[in-house]
Structures are given as C-alpha cells and as structure tokens.
Amino acid sequence: MPVSPASDAAPDTVLVVDFGAQYAQLIARRVREARVFSEIVPSDMPVAEMLAKNPAAIILSGGPSSVYAEGAPSLDASLFEAGVPVFGMCYGFQLMATALGGTVDNSGAREYGRTELNVSKAASTLFEGTPEEQQVWMSHGDACSAAPAGFDVTASTSVVPVAAFENDEKKLYGVQYHPEVMHSTHGQQVLEHFLYRGAGIEPNWTTGNVIEEQVEEIRARVGTKRAICGLSGGVDSAVAAALVQRAIGSQLTCVYVDHGLMRKGETEQVEKDFVAATGVQLKVVDASERFLDALAGVSDPEQKRKIIGREFIRVFEQAQAEIVAENAADGADVAFLVQGTLYPDVVESGGGTGTANIKSHHNVGGLPEDLEFELIEPLRKLFKDEVRAVGQELGLPEEIVQRQPFPGPGLGIRIVGDVTRERLDLLREADAIAREELTAAGLDRQIWQCPVVLLADVRSVGVQGDGRTYGHPIVLRPVSSEDAMTADWSRLPYETLERISTRITNEVADVNRVVLDVTSKPPGTIEWE
C-alpha cells in the first residue's frame, strides 16, 4: 500500500456490489492496490442509494447463483443508463448481459478453475497490452452466448463464445472470469485498465488520505470531550490509538485490560514498547480474576466471545469513572471508546454486505446493548496491510506494526473447552515456544499468523519417561494470507515443526502430542473458535 503524500484532490470511490461472491472483499482489495478507494455494498441496495454515494465507478461481483434461478439476486437495469462506468465480473457480467438484451443460457458450457482465454481485440480498453492468450480463473455454469446490442465481444474461450465484452460509449464492461484472483495472470492489469481508462479515475488514494480524513473527522466529533482506547498490544488497537492521539492528543487515555487471556510477556511489552513509541497516557487494569470467573464452566465459543466482550466493556466503564475522577478539575466528559475494528471484522460479523454472520466479534457484533460510549473506529474500512501502512506513516516501530494478528478475545478462544488458569498457563508456554522457534527460523514475516490451540477436552495416549501418559494435544495453525478473508496453511520446514513439537512435548506439562492443521480458509476459519 503506497504511503506517499496524499493528493489535494478528494479520492474517488468505487462501489463493489456484493452478489454473495467469496471474492467480493478481494475485489475491494485489488481496487485499493490500484490506489483507488473502494467500498462494498449489498446487492439489495437500491440503485438510487448507490448513485447517491456519487461513485466514480461500480463493480458487480460474482456470485453462486444462476441469473435465471428463482430468488437469485437481481439489479435494476436503470444502473446501466445512469452514466456511471460499470464493470461486471462473472455473475455481474451475466446480469449486465441479460439486463441489456444479451443471451445467457445453461448450454453445458461449464468452466471451473484455470482456463485459457483468447483475446480477439487486443487493442480494446480492457485488454490492451495483454497477451492474446492468457490464463484466467473461471467459475460458472451458465454462459453468455450473445452480447447485448452495441457491445464489442473482446474475448472467448474454447467453450464460451462471449467471455468479455465492452461498450466504450456507455462505459460498460464485463468479463466472465475472476480478474481479482492471482490465478488470472493479467487480472490486475485488466482491472486497472477499467479503473484508469474505462472509468477515467485518477489513482490518488493513499494511507495519507486515511490519516488526514480521520484526524479531521475525529477532532470535529470529539470536540473538548475525552476518549479512551482499549489497547491490546496488537497492531489494530495500536494504530487506532496512535491515529486518535494524532487527532486529540492528551484528550485520549489508553486503557490496557489484562484479562488474563494474553500471551506470555505481552502485558510487559505493551507497557514498555507502546508508551515509549507514542508517549500516550496508559492505564493498566488487572481484571484477570473477573474474566476467569465469568468464563468458568463455559465451553461454547460464541458464548465465550460474548462474555469477553461484555466484561471488556464493563471494565472500561469502571475505567471511565476513574479517569473522569482523575480529571475532574477540567470537567471533561469521557464519552468515546476507540476500537481497532477492521473491515474483515465488519464483513465477517455480517455488517455492511448482507452476508452471513461467520462469527461474533467483540469489536463489532458482541457489544452490550446498553453500551455507554460512542464508538470511534478509525480503521473500520481498512484491511490489515493498509493498517500496517498507516502505522508506519504514523511512526510506530516495526515491532508493533509488523506484529502478527492476535484475536481480541485472546487465548480464551484458543482453548477448545472450559477456560481455566491452569489451561491458560499451559497454552501460554506452548505458544511461546512456537513463536520463539518461528522467529529463530526467520519465518515471522513469511506467515500471516500461527495460532496455537489447546484441545482441552481431548486427551490422547502417549509414552513419556518410559511411562504411559494421557495428555492434551496442541494444534499448530500456521497460515498464509493477505487480509484474513481467505487463507492457506503455511508449508513450514519439517525441521522447524520438529523443533516446535519436541520442545512443547518436553517442556510443557500435560501435553504429549502436537498436530498440524492443514485446512485452508474456506472451508475452515483461521481461529478454531
């Protein structure tokens, strides 16, 4: 993500209309990588509301439905007469074709996975400068057999006669495949051709825009009141805090809640590193007993998340009263709570896209209804790599900016079963060993994160010290990802895995087995709970 100075011109916005595609968030990322701001909107948003956002262009995502299926997502054809450039991908391509009089049918021309695309008009808006034969990623059962009147057919495959079309006069474009995925070898180039050439958008969005806009907005919103921020030690909360401090300075107090669910040494690291880097006012609250009492006997992961979210806010309410008392002389009202909510958090909690709720998140969906604070979420529309770029521009040290993601509910959702102090201590030691060995092998920057999971309700037979044991398994979950929306398991060297396994089974009491999770996302999520 570029971190060059922002342009004086306000950045354009591209709307990505989500028709239930697994890649909608990836489309939004690819647009941003082209230095154009993007926002995902649900397919049932009325066209009038879309146009009211004054988009510079609109992209129609793919989706699992057939355009002819009963109840399939549809789109008001008036969009194509509004003068806004539109780019349809896969299902969005077929919607455009049918809405404008083209033909889409189920002829048996199914294509899934890598497919050879034949470009018939190499000088077209989308394909200029790309090869006449190129690899693309297809995923469709229906196919377009005739383009709408006024459209030029620009590409085909061996089984699909219309795999791409263009209407430069109306600024309408479409492709049957997924240009947003890396398997489409020239997909990003085709997308950028639509943005720059088809829609005429200036690539002027940078992280500088984010900082300037948020600082101005936060100052205006907070005024003379005060804000508190929940600092976890992770990159999200750290960058959110640094950004808000840039806006309101000493009106912000960061509160670090030690809920007893943190990894080994993290409390000390937060107190030392973040304060040294920012000079922020930090209040540390030891609430470990409170959280453990509330979690006692609870094994359901959703209930755990909601309990942790509820107790987290209650601790903040107590901190608020203490901070107000400490600052009674100036009469300032602590009215705002800063959180490091990211775009994937919003999407996976069912917010903003009409998608299913994959998980509740204490930053999004698990907040109590009687919350006494107004929320400030300056990173709500950003992906993780964009947050890191903002952190770098704000001057945070690499140790904070490049830290691997860690869930807000902490180790509470990495224990499959009841959460107890003994189980937390066990998992902390295993996790610390895994992190030490990954660092020693130089793999920290090669993986997205490596959750270490304790299967507390599972025991397996082992042999240790010439005796039979009945211990817990530990699961290693190293994953590679760009934004946590999708992920693949990381192929770590066998030697590193061996060292981690040997050390954990030798050094951590009551553990006699280490296993490796080799599931991608989807179908699994990164965290187990």
Token digits for 76? 């008001």
For residue 419, the SS3 value is: coil
Nearest of 364, 338, 385 to residue 485 by alpha carbon: 385
Q: Is the alpha carbon torsion for 177, 178, 184, 190 positive or negative? A: positive
Whole-angstrom distance, CA of residue 59 vs CA of residue 88: 6
180 is catalytic: yes
* 404 vs 47: CA distance, rounded Å: 39
Tell me the C-alpha distance between 283 and 231, whole Å. 10
For residues 475 and 517, is the Cβ–Cβ distance under 8 A? Answer: yes
Of the residues 33, 166, 180, 529, only one is catalytic, namely: 180
Q: With 0-12 CB in 10 A as exposed, 13-18 as middle and 19+ as buried, what is 70? A: exposed
Residue 229 annotated as catalytic: no
Residues 6+ apart with CB under 8 A from 120: 153, 154, 155, 156
- Phi, psi at residue 221, to the nearest 5°? -75, -40
Give the CB-side neighbour count of residue 271, counting CA atoms within 13 A.
10
Task: Please count the helices (runs of H) and the strands (runs of E) in the chain.
Answer: 15, 22
Q: Which of 111, 140, 166, 178 is catalytic?
A: 178
| Residues making up the chain, counted from first to last | 529
178 flagged as catalytic:
yes
Catalytic residue chosen out of the listed positions 33, 90, 377, 437 = 90
How far apart are alpha carbons 378 and 215 in whole angstroms? 9
Helices (H), 355-456: 384-393, 398-401, 421-440
Could you give the CA distance from residue 430 to residue 423 in angstroms, rounded to a whole number?
11
**R_g of the chain computed on alpha carbons:** 25
SS3 (DSSP) at 58: strand
Token reading at 246: 């840039």
Q: Which residues contact 52 (CB under 8 A, 6 or more apart)?
A: none
Residues marked as catalytic: 90, 178, 180
